Structure 1
Amino acid sequence: MRILNTGIAIAMAAVSSFAMAEGGGDRIHARMMQENQQTMEQYATENGKAVPEVVHYKYGLNLDVAKVISMTPSTRDCGVIPSRMTYEDSSGKLNTVEYQVLGINCPHGG
């Protein structure tokens, strides 16, 4: 029985590694963005605020961040990946900005 469980665990790890190599990471990031959007829509509704429109960050964009509400979590990927931050500005309006970050699992040269 122990051998069967070990075999299943190895097979699952191999399949998930293959999925990540074949674009699985893109699906994970898309799901994270979708979950963030749903969570922020629910937060806005519960707090009587307008649902924020997603703004794509561009260099020089002036952000008025008074309170961070949510940030998408970092992933174990290496490479540039999308991330979002939803925040309240100084007037209390909800805003969501999408930007690119470097994954946390990249080797560091040195």
Structure 2
Amino acid sequence: MESKSAVQALAALAQDSRLAVYRLLVEAGPEGLPATAIAERLGIPANTLSFHLKTLSQADLLSAQPQGRFIYYSANFARMNALVAFLTDNCCGGRPCTPAALVSRRQKPGASA
């Protein structure tokens, strides 16, 4: 992933409602959800949701699949993984990164080693 693409994806996610939509779609898995279900679960009006879905689609973070009268939206997991890989590409000076949860369990503040 190029830096310009990463910035576009991060900019699309840098808004509360869009981030909530994206996280809901990630949780829903590859099957996705119809726009009506997204609006109901998150309490977002249809016209506002449409705007957010368009922004996420333009950033290639989700895809839309018409099914009958509904459009199902799902997270673009390949794009998500590429973004995460881009963000962690130079992590920890080339050494494997230790998840923060593991570090905090091993080294609690004020605890002696």
Bucket of the pairwise TM-score, normalised by the shorter protein: under 0.3
> What TM-score, normalized to structure 2?
0.25
Larger RCO (alpha carbons 8 Å, 6+ apart): 2
Identify the structure with the greater helix proportion.
Answer: 2
Larger Rg: 1
